[in-house]
Amino acid sequence: MMFDLDFSIIPANKELLWEGMKMTFLLTGLAIGGGIILGTFLALLRIAKVPVLQHVASAYVNFFRSLPLILVIFWLFFLVPLIVGRPVGAFSSVLVAFILFEAAYYSEIIRAGINSVRPGQLAAARAIGLTYGQAMRSVVLPQAFRAMTPILLTQAIILFQDTSLVYVVGLRDFLVSAEIVANRDQKLVEMFLFVAVVYFTFCFLASMGVRYLQRKIAT
């Protein structure tokens, strides 16, 4: 019965839950940063005038966008130790998996943002003596990132939700921490209701922030 629910289990285990949430935030933040950096590099390759580079970047993007994230996590968890020749922690392998996977999506967002900048901007930058790299770094990319910030943040919200998949390799994020408490104290309904409320609250507030930012940029 609903009236039999005991949510006192949540404050009693707040330290364990907070440690799990910090892991979720850390993984999300690092994956966003790494994904955007690698995604920007891939986007620049895809718009390069060198066909070989275009094909390589396109193959990378299509490959990772065709795979489920959970499979990439499994691959990297077992493959990275074989590549480096020594055991690798779950956090490191999962982080690499998230960065490689998210970079494929970020690259498409960034490529679209670059293409949205008027060609005359690049031509004007080259006309005043900037190299192609300087023009992209100082003129085109700042404008592109401003326009695509809401979409990048939306992808970040999706990434925050996807971090819950790390339970498959035993990494103790927020969801796994809540599951430990739920199984130990036989409070599955209370804990998973709490987890749902927390994820919904974070994602809903972030979505509202993205909508506000979209209106701000539009004006």
Residue 66: DSSP 8-state: T
Domain that holds residue 84: 2-218
Cβ neighbours, 10 Å, residue 87: 8
pTM: 0.88
**Number of domains comprising the chain:** 1
Confirm if 173 and 20 have CB atoms less than 8 A apart: yes
Can you give the pLDDT of all 219 residues of the chain as single tens digits? 445 777 888 998 999 999 999 999 999 999 999 999 999 999 999 988 889 999 999 999 999 999 999 999 988 888 878 887 887 888 988 999 999 999 999 999 999 988 888 878 888 888 888 888 888 888 888 888 888 888 999 999 999 999 999 988 888 999 999 999 999 988 888 899 999 999 999 999 999 999 988 888 776
Cβ neighbours, 10 Å, residue 120: 9
The confidence score (pLDDT) of residue 58 equals: 94
Rounded CA separation 90/119 (Å): 44
Q: Which two tokens stand for residue 93?
A: 């392998």
Rounded CA separation 156/101 (Å): 13
Confirm if 159 and 27 have CB atoms less than 8 A apart: no
CATH of the domain at 194: 1.10.3720.10
Residue with tokens 């293409």: 115
Cβ neighbours, 10 Å, residue 6: 11
Residue 123: DSSP 8-state: H
The confidence score (pLDDT) of residue 219 equals: 66
- Convert 196-216 to b/e letters by CB count within 10 Å (16 or more is b): eebbeebeeeeeeebeeeeee
Q: Which two tokens stand for residue 69?
A: 């994230």
Confirm if 34 and 103 have CB atoms less than 8 A apart: yes
Confirm if 97 and 31 have CB atoms less than 8 A apart: no
Amino acid code (one letter) for 87: P
Q: How many CA atoms lie within 13 A of 98 on its CB side?
A: 27
